[in-house]
Amino acid sequence: MADKHLEFLDIPRRMPDEIPVAVRIESWGEIYGDYDAENNVEQASRCLDCGNPYCEWKCPVHNYIPNWLKLAEEGRFHEAAELSHQTNPLPEICGRVCPQDRLCEGACTLEDGFGAVTIGAIERQITDTALATGWRPQVAPRVAGKRVAVIGAGPAGLACADRLAMRGIETVVFDRQQEIGGLLTFGIPPFKLDKAVIKTRRMVLEEMGVAFRLGVEIGKDISIDQILEEFDAVFLGLGTYAAVDGGLPGIGLRGVHQALPYLIANVNHLLEISDGYPLIDLSGKQVVVLGGGDTGMDCNRTAIRQGASQVTCAYRRDEANMPGSRREVKNSKDEGVQFLFNRQPVAILGQDHVEGVLIAETELGPADAHGRRSPRNVPGSETVLSADCVILAFGFRPNPPKWLEPLGARLTDRDLVQVAPEGAQLPFQTANAKVFAGGDMVRGSDLVVTAVYEGREAAASILRTLGV
């Protein structure tokens, strides 16, 4: 009889089949399929069930990964989904958009030499399969007289609402958009996250008792004072939407676009939503994307699908030091994106419309306290990169609404909402004891899974405040 713990020697890591590049760049669908029953069992069986599972520690929500891999191996998808949901309110989403190569899979014992267990693909399939066959999260009876408002229907807000609803708390989620999800819906392209997945999660949350009030802007359609009066607690999960422009000369030229409006406009076009973001069509354009994170990769691959004649991505560090998912870099390369590493943009050139980007070669200096090596321009190395269009993907910064100050929530010197300040009793509580916050507006632009974690933990603090 074969030793279960040596199966990884005979069974190689295998991702679900990908749609061929020539086909997928002509559409907007997700590029990965699902395992069939046999491959699902095989891939899940590769887990060593380590005594000290590094994958769990590296996962921001600390999923019980070996446990639900074992259940998936046995075909017990409902039980696996229930266990997965105990730690992650949005597992089918994180399974699609998390950079597993830098998190759970990067910490897998098998990663060095044998290939990590395909944790993300199995996580996604567990919940997809369970939901499609009738599984739903277990919800406690409604607690009378307790109401919580969640402002923001992004990953932090949805995670908080999920945990509150599970405990029987009447939860109302407010968002200015017409659909839930925040950047899950409007910022992440559908080839990474099919919008039907978000619609299914909305249906599940509504079945759990969560109410959504969409197309409602706080401070305009309803005052924050009214919300404080009507609800026993408030969670803020507003995200970060203001773009970092890098202060480059020439950013005002026609043909220069910020990443987020570009991505939102494209998703709105695909969803047939008219919401003030005109489509930026890059068909036939020579496109330069500046930035090496996941947002930059999303812009690369969106421009390819729009029919750009050439897409070049310039990044100031080397490939090993890119902040984005290695899988997304590979996907960009596979789809025809050209990369220029160790290149720092100096200025955007042109008279009225962009004509090119002045870039300098860089060399990496010593590592800082966080292990990142800072790039330094090499004198005399400047060259011009031709471009019809430039997309700036340098990241996002907070843009706190005006009603935060009278609410009593304090801001840091970076305009982030301060949680657990002096006088606060609970994690993710603000200076206003009735108000909690989490996600990007607290920590700065970060991963979906970290926002999910903070929404989950903030909900735990709210439940303690409510005495539930």
Question: What is the tens place of the pLDDT at every residue in 100-154?
Answer: 999 999 999 999 889 999 999 999 999 999 999 999 999 999 999 999 999 999 9
- For 237, the token pair is 């999960």
Determine the Cα–Cα distance for residues 209 and 41; give it in Å rounded to an integer.
34
Contact 234, 227 (CB under 8 A): yes
**pLDDT for position 282:** 98
What does the DSSP assignment read for 379-432? TT--EEEE-SEEEE---EE----TTHHHHT--B-TTSPBP-S-TT--STTB-SS
% of the chain at pLDDT higher than 70: 99
Across the chain, what does the average pLDDT equal? 94
- Give the residue, 247 or 156, on which the prediction is more confident: 156
- For 435, the token pair is 């108000």
Which H helix or E strand runs over 276? none
Cα torsion 320, 191, 100, 115 to 10°: value is -80
Classify 177 as helix, strand or coil: coil
Superfamily of chain region 243-395? FAD/NAD(P)-binding domain (3.50.50.60)
pLDDT digits (tens, 9 = 90+) for 438-460: 999 999 989 999 999 999 999 99
pLDDT digits (tens, 9 = 90+) for 299-312: 999 999 999 999 99
**CA-based nearest residue to 327, from 294, 362, 350:** 294
As a whole number, mean pLDDT of residues 150-178 equals 97
% of the chain at pLDDT higher than 90: 83
- Please check the confidence at residue 273 and state whether its pLDDT lies above 80: yes
**CA-based nearest residue to 425, from 399, 385, 464:** 464
Going 305 to 311 to 316 to 322, the CA torsion angle's sign is positive
- Please check the confidence at residue 1 and state whether its pLDDT lies above 50: no
- Please check the confidence at residue 225 and state whether its pLDDT lies above 90: yes
**pLDDT for position 369:** 75
Other residues' Cβ atoms within 10 Å of the Cβ of residue 376? 13
Classify strands 396-397 and 242-243 as parallel, antiparallel or unpaired.
antiparallel
CATH number of 4-132: 1.10.1060.10
Strands of 230-285 (E only): list them.
233-236, 242-243, 256-258
This prediction's pTM: 0.94
Name the band, by pLDDT with cuts 50, 70 and 90, for residue 88: very high
What does the DSSP assignment read for 294-337? HHHHHHHHHHHHHT-SEEEEE-SS-GGG-SS-HHHHHHHHHTT-
CATH number of 147-240+398-466: 3.50.50.60
**pLDDT for position 202:** 98
Residue 313 φ/ψ region, left for φ over 0, alpha for ψ in the -120 to 50 degree band, beta for the rest: beta
Name the band, by pLDDT with cuts 50, 70 and 90, for residue 210: very high
Other residues' Cβ atoms within 10 Å of the Cβ of residue 219? 13
As a whole number, mean pLDDT of residues 361-370 equals 84
Q: Which of 1-5, 151-155, 211-215 has the lowest mean pLDDT?
A: 1-5
Name the band, by pLDDT with cuts 50, 70 and 90, for residue 259: very high
- Please check the confidence at residue 2 and state whether its pLDDT lies above 60: no
Determine the Cα–Cα distance for residues 396 and 244; give it in Å rounded to an integer.
5
- Please check the confidence at residue 61 and state whether its pLDDT lies above 80: yes
Determine the Cα–Cα distance for residues 174 and 93; give it in Å rounded to an integer.
21
- Please check the confidence at residue 297 and state whether its pLDDT lies above 70: yes
Q: Where are the domains of the chain?
A: 4-132, 147-240+398-466, 243-395
Q: Which residue has the tokens 């760049």?
A: 25
Other residues' Cβ atoms within 10 Å of the Cβ of residue 458? 31
- For 275, the token pair is 């919401």
Please name the residues in contact with 445: beta carbons below 8 A apart, sequence gap of 6 or more: 240, 395, 396, 397
Q: Which of 4-13, 257-266, 317-326, 340-349 has the lowest mean pLDDT?
A: 4-13
Other residues' Cβ atoms within 10 Å of the Cβ of residue 243? 19
Identical fold, 4-132 and 147-240+398-466: no
Burial class (CB in 10 A: 0-12, 13-18, 19+), 183: buried
As a whole number, mean pLDDT of residues 37-64 equals 94
Across 346-365, b (16+ Cβ under 10 Å) vs e yields: bebbbeeebbbbbbbbbebe
As a whole number, mean pLDDT of residues 344-353 equals 96
